[in-house]
């Protein structure tokens, strides 16, 4: 039986966590104070779940002083808004993750189970953790070992280029070659031939030096043709010939240039319809689509939203050099959205929410106030129930109090002063609005 250490002084929360993990088959050692914990390096726990603020100190400060074998265990901290910085510091010292209160117990259980299982699919996943994306990734990993052309289909923003890059990285014959990405829709039609095949010095007015085209630069690697359905008919014929013969003429050249590369193409168009209407060559389609892989839209795999959000926020935190915390309300709001722009729209939404956040805390209200909501209507208003005035005022109060607590590092006295109300009034509001402050 797996053993789990639980450090929680709240009797109701502790009992809930104890019973929930016991249902999952864990033997739970529940301590209510830090001093009660057996800190012997050979402690048998598979993971540790700990509140941050405990009667005898901050668990995060205590954690960084523990022996290395204990800190090497998967540690998960439960924190209020006032202690987010402490939790982030603990993560930098080796803790696995933290959740801000109120948190989803099921999410915590999932995180702990992933941490104590030797096969950790969330860590290994590249494209997503949903069953649909696991199937896509399994196919991608299989075809990467064989030098065949691949056509990736799906809506804009679903991750077709990420899948193409994965194919390139996993292809043992592409180690020395480059990943050359070409947005076929972005190259002016008058420049297509020059950009794809290259040209010699003096081939045309302005050609002051020789230029290697996309096909030549992809030698030994991967040529990624994004939005391949946008290519005009004249270029489709020339590209087909080059792909068949693996050689081509630079503009102005007298000798052919050889290039050996894998082709991965992508489109958000229905190429079958394009072929039936004469806008896309059938022979080029079958040359590109030896293997066809369809990537589903994000709205059909909501279980990937949390996974993508955590990865994206990790990147944004690194870019901005500051910790970022996400409330469960904010996460539930993300999961409820249709994301017509898929992962690209999700990334844009998160970037805006981070810019507008207070102290790096992303909460529901600030993610929808001043940030473009999903494009369900021309006015950016979501097609969901209109909130009552009372609920809106409560949401605003809740958010403002949380911001005050974050700014004062959880001090109720200083927060009350900051808000211009008495401590008693603040306590009453926190109780009514269910604002935790550990």
For residue 59, give the 3-state DSSP assignment.
Answer: helix
CATH annotation of 131-298 = 3.40.50.300
Instruction: Give the mean model confidence (pLDDT) for residues 98-112.
Output: 83
Percent of the chain with pLDDT over 70: 89
- Decide which of 3.30.70.3270, 1.10.3720.10, 2.60.40.1180, 3.40.50.2300 is the CATH code for 2-124: 3.40.50.2300
Tell me the pLDDT tens digit for each residue of 325-374.
777 778 888 888 899 999 999 999 998 888 887 777 787 644 444 444 44
Instruction: Give the mean model confidence (pLDDT) for residues 139-160.
Output: 92
DSSP letters spanning 32-51? SSGGGS---TT---SEEEEE
Spatial separation of the C-alpha atoms in residues 279 and 272, rounded to whole Å: 10
Determine the pLDDT at residue 106: 83
Instruction: Give the CB-side neighbour count of residue 181, counting CA atoms within 13 A.
Output: 13
Domain 301-432 has CATH 3.40.1110.10: no
Residue corresponding to tokens 């199937």:
135
- Asked if the model's pLDDT at residue 1 lies above 70, the reply is no
How many other C-beta atoms are found inside a 10 Å radius of the C-beta of residue 398?
20
Helix axes 303-320, 328-336, angle to 10 degrees: 120
Tell me the pLDDT tens digit for each residue of 286-296.
999 999 999 99
- Asked if the model's pLDDT at residue 387 lies above 60, the reply is no
Q: Quick one: tokens of 247?
A: 């050689």
Question: What are the extents of the domains in the chain?
Answer: 2-124, 131-298, 301-432
Residue 64 φ/ψ, nearest 5 degrees = -70, -15
Domains 131-298 and 301-432 share a fold: no
Determine the pLDDT at residue 377: 42
- Asked if the model's pLDDT at residue 161 lies above 80, the reply is yes
For residue 41, give the 3-state DSSP assignment.
Answer: coil
Band of pLDDT at residue 157, cut at 50, 70 and 90: very high
- Asked if the model's pLDDT at residue 274 lies above 60, the reply is yes
| Predicted TM-score (pTM) above 0.75 | no
Instruction: Give the mean model confidence (pLDDT) for residues 192-206.
Output: 85
Instruction: Give the mean model confidence (pLDDT) for residues 17-28.
Output: 89
- Asked if the model's pLDDT at residue 57 lies above 70, the reply is yes
């Amino acid at each position: 039986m797996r053993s789990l250490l639980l450090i929680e002084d709240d009797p109701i929360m502790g009992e809930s966590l104890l019973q929930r993990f016991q249902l999952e088959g864990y033997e739970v050692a529940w301590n209510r104070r830090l001093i009660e914990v057996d800190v012997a390096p050979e402690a048998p726990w598979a993971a540790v779940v700990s509140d941050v603020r405990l009667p005898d100190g901050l668990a995060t400060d205590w954690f960084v002083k523990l022996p290395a074998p204990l800190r090497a265990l998967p540690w998960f901290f439960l924190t209020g808004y006032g202690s987010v910085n402490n939790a982030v510091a603990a993560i930098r010292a080796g803790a696995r993750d933290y959740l801000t209160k109120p948190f989803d117990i099921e999410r915590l259980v999932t995180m702990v189970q992933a941490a104590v299982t030797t096969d950790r699919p969330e860590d290994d996943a590249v494209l997503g953790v949903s069953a649909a994306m696991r199937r896509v990734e399994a196919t991608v990993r299989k075809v990467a070992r064989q030098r065949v052309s691949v056509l990736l289909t799906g809506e804009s923003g679903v991750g077709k280029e990420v899948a193409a890059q994965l194919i390139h990285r996993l292809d043992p014959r592409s180690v020395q070659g480059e990943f050359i990405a070409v947005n076929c829709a972005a190259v002016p039609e008058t420049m297509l031939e020059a950009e794809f095949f290259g040209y010699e010095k003096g081939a045309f007015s302005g050609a002051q030096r020789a230029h290697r085209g996309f096909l030549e630069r992809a030698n030994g690697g991967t040529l990624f043709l994004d939005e391949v359905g946008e290519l005009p008919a004249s270029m489709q014929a020339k590209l087909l010939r080059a792909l068949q013969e693996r050689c081509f003429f630079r503009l102005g050249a007298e000798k052919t240039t050889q290039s050996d590369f894998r082709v991965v193409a992508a489109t958000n168009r229905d190429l079958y319809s394009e072929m039936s209407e004469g806008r896309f060559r059938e022979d080029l389609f079958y040359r590109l689509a030896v293997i066809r892989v369809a990537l589903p839209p994000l709205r059909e795999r909501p279980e990937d939203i949390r996974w993508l959000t955590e990865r994206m926020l990790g990147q944004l935190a690194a870019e901005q050099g500051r910790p970022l915390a996400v409330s469960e309300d904010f996460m539930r709001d993300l999961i409820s959205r249709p994301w017509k722009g898929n992962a690209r729209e999700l990334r844009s939404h998160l970037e805006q929410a981070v810019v507008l956040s207070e102290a790096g805390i992303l909460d529901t209200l600030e993610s929808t106030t001043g940030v473009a909501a999903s494009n369900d209507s021309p006015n950016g208003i979501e097609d969901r129930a209109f909130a009552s005035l009372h609920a809106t005022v409560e949401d605003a109060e809740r958010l403002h109090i949380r911001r005050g607590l974050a700014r004062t590092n959880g001090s109720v006295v200083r927060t009350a002063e900051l808000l211009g109300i008495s401590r008693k009034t603040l306590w009453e509001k926190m109780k009514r609005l269910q604002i935790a402050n550990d």
